[in-house]
Amino acid sequence: MVDSASDDRLETRLVHAGEPTPRADGAVAMPVFQSSTFTIDRARGEAGYHDLRYIRLNNTPNQLALAAKLAAIEGGEAALVTGSGMAAISTTLLSLLGAGDHLLAQRELYGGTHALLTDNLPRLGIGATFIDAGAPASWKAALRPTTRVLYVEAISNPLLRIGDLAAAASFARAHGLVSIIDATFATPVNLRPIDLGFDLVLHSATKYLNGHSDIVAGALIGRAVLVEKTKHLLDHLGGSLDPHACFLLQRGLKTLSLRVRHQSASALTLARFLEAHPAVAAVHYPGLESHPDHARARPWFSGFGGVLSFELRGGVEAADRLIARARLPLHAPSLGGPETLLTRPATASHAGLTPEDRARAGLPDALLRLCVGLEAPEDLLADLDQALR
């Protein structure tokens, strides 16, 4: 539940919200309660199965403190922490949809989510129609009497497109759908989905929320009845987060604002540098005025995150040469950590697609994705400059 001191600004909530009051045995940092089970406290009225405290039941001290912090920073009624971003996504969708139900989903989805919607959910009798998130006028035609959910992502990967997010939330409300946004690429620092009207906000906390490339975790924040429903299914599906990973995520969250503002500013600097470079054919970053969604998204975003993609004039060969010559960026997938990461999505996140599918998705094989870390932007810029020469 939201901390009572909810008038505090985001930076203050990141530090203080959800922390136990009084502190556990005076410890300033929340300790790790590395215990799978807890004694039954008759005085607290614990009796039935659902009152027992057990890690899989998502009700142990580290999980509850973290959920309270997440609810407070995202501005939601309630929150749930999960064993991965995909555990949050799959459990939420399975709690809202059953056999015969249907959802509308943005066409460019995170690969795991796309596979869930196209491979796994149809086997359970759950259908999906993919929509152009930037064209609200086309959505009504995709509605069915069985449509229950509208699902979008804050910023798509790897072309960094931003749909009409305000229209998505109001369309869902008007048609009785639950609106869900995967805000992993935006974070609560750059986007406030609940203020835009979304019912549920999902995160791969593996990325920016934790921010240190050392755990896998997920989160769900939003309307209490929906979070509670998902929690009951999570109890049964078993995708809970262990206390030590909770501890690391809670620690990482305290510096979220500092990290994301640095990464967003660095990414904009590098995007402007690349856009002006003669070896670069195109740059995709929603913070650039040249980005097709910049004008629409500007009022909703305080920054556009650390991920950008670009194409070199020299094609695939030049792209692979850049990866080999760059000194600082590590050649690894994922994002949101201290280390800048550089990949060619055709051989990484989108390697599962055929060349034809990639072409249809408007994804050139030569596209490079840069996930900016916490290094000095001047060093990253100088490194890219020497690697491009």
Ligand X SMILES: *Cc1c(COP(=O)(O)O)cnc(C)c1O
> Per-residue string for binding with ligand X, 96-125, x by CB under 6 A?
--------------x-x-------------
User: Minimum distance from CB of 5 to ligand X (Å)?
Assistant: 30
Report how far Cα 280 is from the mean position of its chain's Cα atoms. 28
> Per-residue string for binding with ligand X, 215-244, x by CB under 6 A?
-x-x--------------------------
Q: At what angle do helices 256-275 and 377-388 cross, to 10 degrees?
A: 30
Residues with Cβ within 8 Å of residue 117, at least 6 apart in sequence: 103, 105, 109, 128
Decide if 209 contacts 69 (C-beta within 8 A).
no
Residue 204 engages ligand X in binding (rule: CB under 6 A):
yes
Residue 86 engages ligand X in binding (rule: CB under 6 A):
yes
As annotated, the active-site residues are 56, 110, 182, 207
Which tokens in the block code for residue 96? 């809202």
Nearest to ligand X of 53, 207 (CB atom): 207
Residue 92 engages ligand X in binding (rule: CB under 6 A):
no
Nearest to ligand X of 206, 266 (CB atom): 206
**197 burial type by CB count under 10 A (0-12 exposed, 13-18 middle, 19+ buried):** middle
Of 32-40, 84-92, 123-131, 287-295, which segment contacts ligand X by CB under 6 A? Answer: 84-92
**Position closest to ligand X via CB:** 85
Nearest C-alpha neighbor of 385 from the set 330, 325, 341, 319: 325
The residue count for binding ligand X (CB under 6 A) is: 14
Cα 154 from Cα 150, distance rounded (Å):
13
User: Minimum distance from CB of 56 to ligand X (Å)?
Assistant: 18
Of 56-64, 78-86, 294-302, 317-325, which segment contacts ligand X by CB under 6 A? Answer: 78-86
> Per-residue string for binding with ligand X, 160-199, x by CB under 6 A?
----------------------x-xx--------------
Residue 84 engages ligand X in binding (rule: CB under 6 A):
yes
Nearest to ligand X of 312, 329 (CB atom): 329
**CA–CA distances in Å: residue 117 to residues 157, 175, 318, 332:** 17, 21, 35, 26
Nearest to ligand X of 248, 387 (CB atom): 248
What is the edge-to-edge ordering of all strands in the sheet holding 341-343?
280-284, 307-312, 368-371, 341-343
Nearest to ligand X of 316, 348 (CB atom): 348
Of 129-137, 167-175, 202-210, 351-359, which segment contacts ligand X by CB under 6 A? Answer: 202-210
Cα 78 from Cα 1, distance rounded (Å):
5
User: Minimum distance from CB of 38 to ligand X (Å)?
Assistant: 27
User: Minimum distance from CB of 184 to ligand X (Å)?
Assistant: 4
Which tokens in the block code for residue 56? 């899989």
The gap between the terminal CA atoms of the chain, to the nearest Å, is: 53
Nearest C-alpha neighbor of 150 from the set 129, 122, 121, 134: 129
User: Minimum distance from CB of 230 to ligand X (Å)?
Assistant: 15
Nearest to ligand X of 19, 199 (CB atom): 199
Cα 180 from Cα 105, distance rounded (Å):
9
Decide if 97 contacts 148 (C-beta within 8 A).
yes
| Binding residues for ligand X (CB under 6 A) | 84-86, 110, 112, 153, 182, 184-185, 204, 206-207, 216, 218
